[in-house]
Amino acid sequence: MEKKIINTTNAPAPIGPYNQAVQFGSLLFVSGQIPLDAATGNLVQDDIQAETRKVMENLAAILKEAGMDFSHVIKSTIFLMDMGKFAQVNEIYGSYFTENAPARETVQVAGLPRGVNVEISVIAGK
């Protein structure tokens, strides 16, 4: 099997030596997304719900580029600066999965890129 690089201008460009996603066979590994607006280059930092929504929009754009959507997500990881905001993040995150939500873990971390409050990565498959 060969790996295929997935990138779209509808999600933030990588800020390091990685790609937005890599497809390997039927699996898609999407790099962690932060609440960065691809069109403006600005961070969305209004509140944790707006940040989470932008992260999910970025993930959706990458999934779409690979011919997938949230129904294809089989695993996700949520990184939070403050576990006290879990319920707010979970509310927004959950709205993107209509049924058969993926496996997931949520962890509190000491820091995230560019000082954001949330980062989410996913693995999807067809």
For the domain that residue 12 is a member of, what is the CATH number? Answer: 3.30.1330.40
Amino acid found at 92: I
Look at residue 106 in the predicted model and tell me its pLDDT.
98
Provide the number of structural domains found in the chain.
Answer: 1
Angstrom distance (rounded) from CA 37 to CA 40: 6
Pairing state of beta strands 27-33 and 118-125? antiparallel
At residue 119 the predicted structure's pLDDT band, cuts being 50, 70 and 90, is very high
Indicate if the pLDDT at residue 99 is higher than 90.
Answer: no
Mean pLDDT of the chain: 96
Model confidence at 98: pLDDT above 90: no
Average pLDDT over residues 39-50: 95
Domain of 46, in residue numbers: 3-125
CA distances from 78 to 5, 19, 25, 67, 89 (A): 23, 19, 24, 23, 9
> Which one-letter amino acid corresponds to residue 10?
N
Using 50, 70 and 90 to split pLDDT, how confident is the model at 17?
A: very high
Give the model's pLDDT for residue 105.
Answer: 97
Per cent of the chain over pLDDT 90 is 94
For residue 122, the one-letter residue type is: V
For the whole model, what pTM was predicted? 0.96
Residue 24: its pLDDT value, please?
98
Count Cβ atoms below 10 Å from residue 101 Cβ, excluding itself: 13
Rounded to an integer, the average pLDDT of 75-101 is 96
What is the SS3 assignment for 70? helix
Residue 123's nearest CA partner among 18, 6, 29 is 29
**Confidence band for 64, pLDDT divided at 50, 70 and 90:** very high
65 contacts 6 by C-beta, under 8 angstroms = yes
